Amino acid sequence: MTVVNPGTQSTRLPADSVMLQMQATGGSGSYTWSATDLPPGLTIDTTTGLITGTPSIGIYNVTVTAVGGGQASTTFTWRVRREAICPRC
């Protein structure tokens, strides 16, 4: 069983809402999801693996785990930053 790594996630503004569907392969096909060190303001749906919410500024090393006929995890970075607004652009 494997949890697919989504790669580094970047959110440009802390007010942006995000949606990230986690995926797994192998195992029973019916998974229970959990996550540690998500940016504050984000949650993971334990049934679907969908991460949603409005994150806080920072850099986070997120670990997502799926359990279902086995257990697997993946870790990735989530960067939330305040994008500078160019007044002359």
Q: Name the strand (E) or helix (H) holding 74.
A: strand 71-80
Statement: residue 86 has pLDDT above 80: no
Cα 78 to Cα 38: distance, rounded to the nearest angstrom: 8
Q: Residue 13 — pLDDT band, cuts 50, 70, 90?
A: confident
CATH architecture for segment(s) 2-82: Sandwich (2.60)
* CA 6 to mean position of chain CA atoms: 8
Q: What is the pTM of this model?
A: 0.89
For residue 9, what are the contacts with CB-CB under 8 A and spacing of at least 6?
Answer: 18, 20, 62, 76, 77, 78, 79
pLDDT cut 90: percent of the chain above it: 80
Cα 53 to Cα 41: distance, rounded to the nearest angstrom: 6
